[in-house]
A and B are shown apart, each in its own frame.
Chain A
Amino acid sequence: MFESPGISYATLWPVLLVLGVACAGVMVEAFAPRAARFNAQVGLAVVGLAAALAGTVAIGSGASLGASTGEGALIVDGPGVFSQGLVLLVSLGGVALFAERRLDNGVSVFAGQAAALPGTPAERTASQRGLEHTEVYPLMMFAVGGMMLFCISGDLLMLFVALEVLSLPLYLLTGLARRRRLLSQEAALKYFLLGAFSSGFFLYGLALVYGFAGSMSLAEIGAVAEEGSSPLLLLGIGLMAVGLLFKTGAVPFHSWTPDVYQGAPTPVTAWMSAATKIAAFAAMLRLFYVAFGAEGDIWRPAIGVVAVLTMLLGASFAIVQSDVKRMLGYSAVAHTGFLLTGLLGVQDDAFGSTQAVLFYLTAYGFATLGAFAIVSLVRGPNGEVGSLDRWAGLGRTNPWVAATFAVFLLSMAGLPLTAGFIGKWGVFAAALGAGQWPVVGIAIVSSIIAVFFYVRVIMLMFFNDAREDAATVATPSYATSGVIALSAVATVALGVIPGPVLSLLVDAGGFIG
């Protein structure tokens, strides 16, 4: 007999709304006149995301929290809803950055006509006519929908579907830069090929795990695994981990990160680096704690090794970068390492791994969104200036912009009174509480290395003299400046009074099966 699954729309409507907005966006592309599309798309996206955010807040504070729905395919629990809200918050910022058109003579950062070959007359015509791709908004909405599903997936298949839904639009968005299109397209291709490859690993692992447990549900896998292990399960865990580690940019699956961060349009980088990491870590926490919790003795050392390599490599390679986006790319790799350190802890009623990692993601999300938003402002005659040499002296010509950038960098470096410090404290405490002192020791060493390249940029901006071809700061619209200001305020506020958010996380509890 086949029974139709019961679906609790009351807890799922934010996800459905976002996906619905994405579909409506496609309709707008098809039927609305070109001139009206931009406003319609931006309006749809903002309203949709804001309503979904309000919805997640309502669900998060409501009584229906902790319910599984769709025969256990989706689990709406505290941490899941928290990460959904975080994804939505970051995405609202992302939309604001996508919609910025004041920086580059009234056009957005996206290519006029993606199908036109770089350097051909077709491309020139497209840019002369002021064309732009408003499809980016529905694409982004699809990705956001996928991320939200990823945060609450309760079974393997849903996990895989969500992974694909969130990944495919990202590949496309990466390749849509208006300037330096070859770099952008190269990045997109790399991202796509490696991403497809890692999805293959993930799917293979998923099949093995199913073969072991005879169930797709994470909770049931967890129950079966408690009774005994098998090589099938371990191999499955390993292969699934490859898929997830790829998405988060952990060593040795990190090589796409700097290229994609550099090649993608900066607003895409800003949004993607924050949102993808949030969704991927939410899914990873759930998978490892709920389904593979019993195998902790096996995966913890392995993840520990990956964390150590990721931190050390990310931090060391960031030092030698001369391009600010690549530097932030490698710094993102290092942060993945710190987050993985947090994953080594245990779920706890009070302040455990879940809380630590989610707080870290909050702190990192705001800092990275703001930092890349500022990168998009620093420009020369040929668009954005990535070369750090040309950032020298920015603190004298534009003290406020440089000071705000410094705040984001200091938060990433984990200095007290910024959100990053509480985040770093949390993940280290979670890992140390589980007895992982060697990893924490290396994490501290990596933090010292990481501090160096953040501080060096501050030194460059404030203490060095500007060169002749120094970059200038373009005046953005309220959208971008609002994102920067709010991110800076959040970064400092979460550093000084993290209490409310910490309490919220403690109340949200752990992941449930």
Chain B
Amino acid sequence: MTLLFLIPFAGALITAVMPARPKLWAFGFAIATLVAGLVTMFTAPDTNLIWMEPLGVHWALEMDGFGKLMVMLTVVLVPLVMVAAVKDHDKRWYAWALALEAFALLTFLAADLFVFYIAFEATLIPAYFMIGQHGGPNRAKAALKFLMFQLGGGLVLLGALIGFFVVSSEAGSPSYLISDLAQLDIGTTAQRWIFVAMFIAFAVKAPLFPVHTWLADTTEQATTPTSVLLVCVLDKIGTFGMIRLCLGLVPEASAWATPVVIVLALISIVYGAVLAIGQDDLLRLIGLTSLSHFGLITLGIFAATREGLVGSILYMVNHGVATAAMFLLAGFLITRKGTASISSMRGLEKATPVLAGTFLVAGLATAGLPGLSQFVSEIMVLISAFDYHWLVGVIAVTAIVLAAIYVLWAYQRIFTGPTEQPRPVTDLNRRELGVVVPLLAALLFFGFVPGPLISAAQPVVAPLVDVIQAGE
């Protein structure tokens, strides 16, 4: 299982120093990681070695159903994104992308909190350079803002990490294994503090209102392949951490904080969607829709019913796929028009029918159209919201209406209308289609056959819900 981390990591180093055809090497390593990911899913045994004995740190990796879904999402997206990025990114970007993949995979595999934390923080450096080295004119500022928010969250998480160490050494010999930590009997006050620290970190990561402000700036300035990796892979670590660590390790404190979290989630849902409607910059628009979606995911997690949690886990996968398609299509559109401003585009439907069609499908998936995969997860989350409280459900449902508005209105402004173009615009070429079609196919497939995803998520969710309901 360590290989799954080592292959992309070694790939990053090799890509960085390879003088000839570095991008091809990087792509090769991404494919190798994809294969390794598939193989490990079925065969590899868990890893558990002692790493830093005095601190109780183990190099422990394991993969449950939840981990499998996130690993799959990551290893599939990275090669696709690399194909999309080939024209306007140099080899540094490819090396950083592999490094990012390596550490992101490590967070999803970590069975030791310390390892999780190290990987959690280590993803930021590649992300920082990816934003800072490629993108819009203000990218350096955006990269700094991104990093400051994330590192701030990370240092708060460090507080929780140390808190666990203190509790764990008082209980006997220190151990950071998540399975050991789950058995600790943590006092109510300590548990709440730990929860708050973890939640702040994951809320910054996810992001959630009010610590979301880095998101739109980052997606605006970064190139779309970077944004895909950030929003579709990296941000999932936030919601992943909420389930794995907040609910898993401090369930009582999670139940205690649920009302506040739900309010924040609702604000994110509505506020993100409303802001998205008002955006003129297409990339900011997509970034802000994610704020709304992460609100829904968080809502499903903290409603803490079986449907809600399964729905949220599915949502993380589906959102990853749908938003990746949205970002990449937006990127293709922007390279054609030379601007991300919606108001300077119109009537592209005739010139680029394929681009328009795929954009509409991806957009409708985002808006939760039945038959496309995001619908399944959205319904499950909404059911859990109504279970929690009818008012919460009612507010959350507005997300669907607002989503339809921002998707369709954006489509209308960009693609419909008079067709005169200042310069000829070409439709998607084969490379671009090769990137988008698999994503759309996945959206359709899992829209009709969500079974495999649900059955992967079920066993992870069951014990969490049991613990929480036992607590109530």
Chain A residues within 8 Å of B, Cβ to Cβ = 350-351, 355, 410, 413-417, 421-422, 424-425, 428-429, 432-433, 437, 440-441, 444, 447-448, 451-452, 455-456, 459, 462-464, 497-499, 502-503, 505-506
Assembly CA distance A425 to B118 (angstroms): 12
Most chain A CB within 10 A, of B133, B147, B161, is at B147
Question: Which residues between 71 and 124 of chain B lie within 8 Å of chain A, taking CB atoms?
Answer: 117-118, 121-122, 124
A428 B162 Cβ-Cβ under 8 A = yes
Is B144 engaged at the interface, CB distance under 8 Å to the other chain? yes
Report chain B residues within 8 Å CB of A437. Answer: 193
On chain B, the residues within 8 Å of A416 by CB distance are 117-118, 121-122
Shortest C-beta distance, B138 to chain A (Å), equals: 11
B54 touches A502 (CB 8 A): yes
Q: How far is the CB of B38 from chain A (nearest CB, A)?
A: 28
Which of B163-171, B362-370, B386-394, B443-451 is found at the contact surface with chain A?
B163-171
Tell me the minimal C-beta distance from A489 to chain B in angstroms.
15
Determine if A462 and B55 form an interchain contact, defined as CB atoms under 8 angstroms apart.
no
Contact with A along B49-82 (1 / 0, CB 8 A): 0011111000000000000000000000000000
For the complex with contacts A351-B54, A451-B148, A463-B143, 18 further pairs of A-B residues with Cβ separation under 8 Å are A350-B174, A355-B54, A410-B125, A413-B151, A415-B121, A415-B124, A417-B122, A421-B118, A422-B52, A425-B162, A428-B158, A441-B159, A444-B155, A456-B144, A462-B132, A463-B133, A502-B52, A505-B54
Q: Cβ of B174: which chain A residues have Cβ within 8 Å of it?
A: 350-351
Please determine whether A350 and B54 come into contact, CB atoms closer than 8 angstroms. Answer: yes
B129 CB-CB contact with A under 8 Å: yes
Main secondary structure of the interface of B (DSSP, over half): helix
Contacts of B243 in A (CB 8 A): none
- List B contacts of A414 (CB < 8 A): 155
- A457: min CB distance to chain B, Å: 11
Sorted from nearest, which 10 A-B pairs have the closest CB atoms? Answer: A463-B140, A416-B118, A416-B121, A502-B54, A463-B132, A448-B152, A429-B162, A499-B52, A351-B54, A451-B151
Q: A498 contacts which of B52, B117, B125, B132 (Cβ < 8 Å)?
A: B52
A412 to chain B, nearest CB (A): 13
Q: How many A-B residue pairs have CB under 8 A?
A: 96
Minimum CB–CB distance for A443 against chain B, Å: 9
Known: A351-B55, A429-B166. A463 touches B158 (CB 8 A): no
Q: Does B244 contact A (CB under 8 A)?
A: no
B173 (CB) vs chain A CBs: closest residue: A350
In the bound assembly, the distance between CA atoms of A464 and B133 in angstroms comes to 10
Q: Is B14 an interface residue (CB 8 A)?
A: no
Q: CA of A455 to CA of B131 in the docked complex: distance in angstroms? A: 14
Report the separation of the CA atoms of residues A413 and B147 in the bound assembly, to the nearest whole angstrom.
Answer: 12
Q: B156 interface residue, CB < 8 Å from A?
A: yes
Question: Are A350 and B52 in contact, with the CB atoms below 8 A?
Answer: no
Q: How far is the CA of A222 from the CA of B166 in the complex (A)?
A: 28
Chain B residues, CB < 8 A from A452 = 148
Determine the distance from Cα of A502 to Cα of B51 in the docked complex, in whole angstroms.
11
Instruction: List the B residue with the shortest CB-CB distance to A441.
Output: B159
Q: Which residue of A lies closest to B144 (CB)?
A: A459
**In the bound complex, do residue B117 and residue A432 qualify as a contact, i.e. CB atoms below 8 Å apart?**
no
The answer to the question of B205 belonging to the interface, with a C-beta cut-off of 8 Å to chain A, is no
CB of B312 to closest CB in A, whole Å:
27
In the docked arrangement, what's the CA distance between A228 and B38, Å? Answer: 69
Q: How far apart are the CA atoms of A444 and B201 in the complex, in Å?
A: 13
Residues of chain B within 8 A of A503, CB atoms compared:
53-54
Task: Output the nearest chain A residue to B124 by Cβ-Cβ distance.
Answer: A415
B139 contacts the other chain (CB 8 A): yes
Q: Which residues of B contact A455 (CB under 8 A)?
A: 128, 144, 147-148, 151
Query: A499 with B148: in contact, given A416-B122, A441-B159, A444-B158 (CB under 8 Å)?
Result: no
Shortest CB-to-CB span from A22 to chain B, Å, is: 37
**In the complex with contacts A415-B125, A444-B158, A463-B139, A432-B55 CB distance below 8 A:** no
Asked if A425 contacts B169 (CB within 8 A), the reply is no
Known pairs A459-B140, A459-B143, A459-B144; A433 contacts B166 (CB<8 A): yes
Shortest Cβ gap from B53 to chain A (Å) = 6
B125 contact set on A, CB distance < 8 A:
410, 415
Q: Which of B139, B161, B193 contacts A425 (CB 8 A)?
A: B161
The tally of residues in B whose CB lies under 8 Å from a CB in A reads 35
In whole angstroms, what is the CA distance A342 to B155 when docked?
17
Q: B133 contacts A502, CB within 8 Å? A: no
Give A351 to B129 CA distance when docked, in angstroms. Answer: 36
Return chain B residues, CB-CB under 8 Å to A456.
Answer: 144
Contact B162 A502 (CB under 8 A): no
Complex: A451 Cα to B125 Cα, angstroms = 13
What's the Cα separation between A415 and B122 when bound, in Å? 8
Indicate if the CB atoms of B151 and A462 lie closer than 8 Å.
no
Please give me the residue from chain B that is nearest to A456 by CB atom. Answer: B144
Q: A448-B152, A462-B132 are in contact. Are A499 and B162 (CB under 8 A)?
A: no
CB–CB B159/A440 < 8 A? yes
Asked if A451 and B54 sit within 8 Å, CB to CB, the answer is no
Residue of A nearest to B147 (CB): A455
A432 to B122, CA, bound (A): 24
State how many angstroms separate the Cβ of B172 from the closest Cβ of chain A.
Answer: 11
Q: Hey, which chain A residues are within 8 Å of B128, CB to CB?
A: 455
Q: How far is the CA of A44 from the CA of B143 in the complex (A)?
A: 49
Shortest distance between the CB of A466 and any CB in chain B (Å): 14
Pairwise interchain contact B140-A464, C-beta atoms closer than 8 A:
yes
Smallest CB separation, A427 vs chain B (Å): 10
CB-defined contacts of A502 to chain B, threshold 8 Å = 52-55
Question: Smallest Cβ distance from A425 to chain B, in angstroms?
Answer: 7
Residues of A within 8 A of B53 (CB): 499, 502-503
Q: A415-B125, A462-B132 are in contact. Are A506 and B54 (CB under 8 A)?
A: yes
Neighbouring B residues of A499 by C-beta, 8 Å = 51-54
- Selected A-B contacts with CB under 8 Å, 19 pairs: A350-B169, A350-B174, A351-B169, A413-B151, A415-B122, A416-B121, A425-B162, A428-B158, A432-B163, A440-B162, A444-B159, A455-B148, A459-B140, A462-B129, A462-B132, A463-B140, A463-B143, A497-B51, A498-B52
Q: How far is the CA of A459 from the CA of B139 in the complex (A)?
A: 10
Q: Complex formed: what's the CA distance from A132 to B54 in Å?
A: 48
| B166–A432 CB distance below 8 A | yes
Chain A residues, Cβ within 8 Å of B163: 432
Q: Is the CB of B148 within 8 A of A447?
A: no
Most A C-beta atoms less than 10 A away, residue of B162, B165, B174: B162
Establish whether residues A459 and B165, one from each chain, have CB atoms under 8 Å apart when the complex forms. Answer: no
Q: Considering the chains assembled together, what is the distance between the CA atoms of A306 and B163 in angstroms?
A: 23
- With contacts A463-B139, A502-B55 taken as known, whether A448 is within 8 angstroms of B151 at the C-beta atoms is yes
Q: Give A429 to B147 CA distance when docked, in angstroms.
A: 24
Least Cβ–Cβ distance between B49 and chain A, in angstroms: 11
Closest to A460 in B: B140
List, in ascending order, chain A residues with CB within 8 A of B52's CB. 422, 497-499, 502
* Neighbour of B155 across the interface among A410, A451, A505, CB < 8 A: A451
Question: Which residues of B are found within 8 Å of A413, using beta-carbon distances?
Answer: 151
Among A410, A422, A459, chain B packs the most CB atoms within 10 A around the CB of A459
Contacts of A464 in B (CB 8 A): 140
Q: In the assembled complex, how far is the CB of residue A445 from the closest CB belonging to chain B, in whole angstroms?
A: 8
Residues of chain A with a CB closer than 8 A to B139's CB? 463
Set of chain B residues within 8 Å of A462, measured between Cβ atoms: 129, 132-133
Give the most central of A355, A424, A462: most B CB within 10 Å.
A462
Are B140's CB and A429's CB within 8 A? Answer: no
Is B162 within 8 A of A448, CB to CB? Answer: no
- Annotate B259-277 by CB proximity to A: 1 below 8 A, 0 otherwise: 0000000000000000000
Bound-state Cα–Cα, A17 to B270, Å: 73
Residue numbers in B under 8 Å from A448 (CB-CB): 148, 151-152, 155
Contacts of A505 in B (CB 8 A): 54
Query: Which A residue's beta carbon lies closest to that of B131?
Result: A463
